[in-house]
Structure 1
C-alpha cells in the first residue's frame, strides 16, 4: 500500500472459506497470502510469487515432567532390561570360571563354599566390567588370570555397546511423541484450516482431517492435546506458534508439498500490474530482508 500510495483497511473473516468467497465476489480487493495453484486459477488472479513455502506440522511441545517420564521409560525399556539381564548372566558365568580356578589356591578371596565363592566371583566380574576395580579380589592362578584377561577384553566391547544402547533409548524416549513426521499422521488426530492448502493435501494423502475455522483454534487444540497435530503453511505456523503458544506448541522440522505464495486478487483486477511493480521494488530493498527475518523465516 505504501509503494502504491493507496489507503487500505483490514477486514476479518470467520473462516478461510468466507474470505475466499468474498474475494471471488469482489467484496475485498486482495488477499496477501495464497498458494498459486490450479484450484484457484479459474476464479481469481495472482500477483507474481514472492515466497516459496510449504506445509509443516505443529505438535504439542513436550513439557518438563513428560521428559522425565520419558527418561524413566527409556531406562526401564524392554531391550535395556534384557541387556542388564545378559550382563548379570555373563558376570555369573565369568565369576563361576574364576571361582573354579581360584577356589583352592586363593581361598581368602574366593572361599566361603560354593555359593559364597560364586558370589565373590560375580562381584569381581561386575567391578572389573564396570572398571571400578576395588582391588579387593584378584585372580592369582594362571587359569584365573586367563579368564580375567578374556573378561576384560570382552567387557570393553560390551560396555561400549551397552552405553550406546542406553543413550539411544533415552534419546528416543525423550523425543518421543505420537507424531514425528508425515507418515505418523495416518494414525493420529490431525487438524487443518478448512479449505486450506493443508486440508487439501491431507485429504489427497488419504489422511482423516478435523476441520478448523482458523489457525488459532487449531493450535489451541494442539496445545490442549485435543488433537495430535495441526498442518498448515510453514511460516504461518512458526510465527503463530512463537507468538501465541510459546513452550506449548512446536513445529516439527520438514516441509511437505512445497508451493509458491502470491497475492490473490479478483479476476481482471486493475491492481494486478501495480502490485507486481510494487513487489519487484520492495523485494530489492533492505526492508524486504527485515520483513522476511521478522515474519517469514
Structure 2
C-alpha cells in the first residue's frame, strides 16, 4: 500500500515537472538594441524593452538569464539556431523577418517610427550666396526677361513708324528701347523719357500695366524667399522630405530595419556597427543623414545636447517592435496575453514616457 502511494506521488511530480520545463531551466534571453530600449550602465541593464520583458516574465513566473547579442540580426540568427529562447529589444517586425521559417514574433509591444538625423552645420558665405542661384530665383528672372522681351518687341512694332525718335526703326536699339520702357512701367518709376503715342502702343501698355502687378508680386515673393534664406543661413538644398534622401549618403546601423529602408529608397548606404559610430560618421561629414529608430534618436540627442545634429521633421515609416521566439514556442500565447494586459493597463506608455520625456 505504501509503495503504491509513493509511486502515485512520483507520477504526479513527474507530470507537473514535464508541464513546466521552462521554469525548471532558466530561459536564455538575448538582448540587443540601443537606448532607451536597452540601456547598459555598468553591470545593470534597463530600458523600455527590458522593463516590459521583466513584467512579462514576472506575470508568467519565468526564470531567465540575459545574454548580450552583438546586433539585432545576430540575435535573430541565434533564435533561429536555437542558441537562445527569446530575443528582447527594439526588434522591428518586418516582412523579411516574418518570412524566415525559423523565427516568429510575439504580439507587438511598442509602436515606433523610423526617424532621420540631419547635421547642423554653420553656413558658409558660399552657401548663403547660393540661395540667389536657386531654381526659384533663376526661373523668376528668366520669366521676367522673356516677358520684357515680348512686351518690348510689341511696343517697338507698334511705335517704330510713328514714334521712331523714342523707338528707333533698327530692331536692336528699337527692341532695347521697348524693353527699357516695359521695365520702367513694371517698376512704376515713370521716368517719362519714352511713351507710346499710337493707339496700339497705348493698348499694349495698358495691358502690361495690369499684368505687371502680377509679375511684380511673383518676383518679389521669390526674392523675399531668397533674402530670408540668405539672412537665416539656411540653404535650399537642406533635406526637408523623405524623397530628398534618394542618392544621398545615409548612415545606418548594420542589421537594423534602417538598412532595409535605405535599400528601398535607393540611398548610398554607409554602414556602422553601433548607433554611436553611425552618428560619428554624420558628425565627420562622411554621411548626409542617419536613419534609425526615432525614440532612440530622441533619447540620444537629449543626453548629448552638444552634438551638432537635429531630428528631421518627418518620419520614414511606422514600425512595430516585438520579442523574437521560435515558431513552436509554448511562450507565444502567455507572452501575448501579458503584453496586451500591460498595454491596456497603460504600463507600456508609462514606461516609455518616463524614459523619453
Q: Give TM-score scaled by structure 2 length.
A: 0.57
1:159/1:19 CA distance change after superposition, 3 Å: same
* Corresponding position of 2:282: 222
Aligned mates of 1:253, 1:274 — CA distance in 2: 36
* Corresponding position of 2:37: none
Greater Rg, structure 1 or structure 2? 2
Map 1:13-92 → 2, pairs under 5 A: 15-17=71-73, 25-26=83-84, 30-37=87-94, 39=97, 43=102, 46-53=105-112, 55-61=114-120, 63-65=122-124, 68-74=128-134, 78-90=138-150, 92=152
Residue 151 (1) aligns with residue 208 (2): yes
Query: Which stretch has the larger CA shift, 80-89 or 172-181?
Result: 172-181
Aligned mates of 2:228, 2:66 — CA distance in 1: 46
Contact 1:56 1:255 in 2 (8 A): yes
Aligned mates of 2:179, 2:319 — CA distance in 1: 64
Deviations 1:89-122 (A, max 9, x none): 3464366468658858xx9xx69xx999987765
1:47/1:174 CA distance change after superposition, 3 Å: same
Aligned mates of 1:266, 1:191 — CA distance in 2: 31
* Corresponding position of 2:314: 253
1:150/1:247 CA distance change after superposition, 3 Å: same
CA positional deviation for 1:272? 5.9
Contact 1:53 1:259 in 2 (8 A): yes
Aligned mates of 2:240, 2:249 — CA distance in 1: 10
Deviations 1:237-256 (A, max 9, x none): 45445654765243362434
Contact 2:93 2:322 in 1 (8 A): yes
| Aligned residues: CA RMSD | 5.1
CA positional deviation for 1:85? 3.1
* Corresponding position of 2:248: 188
* Corresponding position of 1:176: 237
Aligned mates of 1:156, 1:179 — CA distance in 2: 32
Aligned with 2:287: secondary structure?
Answer: coil
CA positional deviation for 1:49? 0.8
Gaps of 5+ in 2: 1-50
Gaps of 5+ in 1: none
Aligned length: 289
1:62/1:250 CA distance change after superposition, 3 Å: farther
Contact 1:35 1:262 in 2 (8 A): yes
1:102/1:121 CA distance change after superposition, 3 Å: farther
Aligned mates of 1:206, 1:160 — CA distance in 2: 39
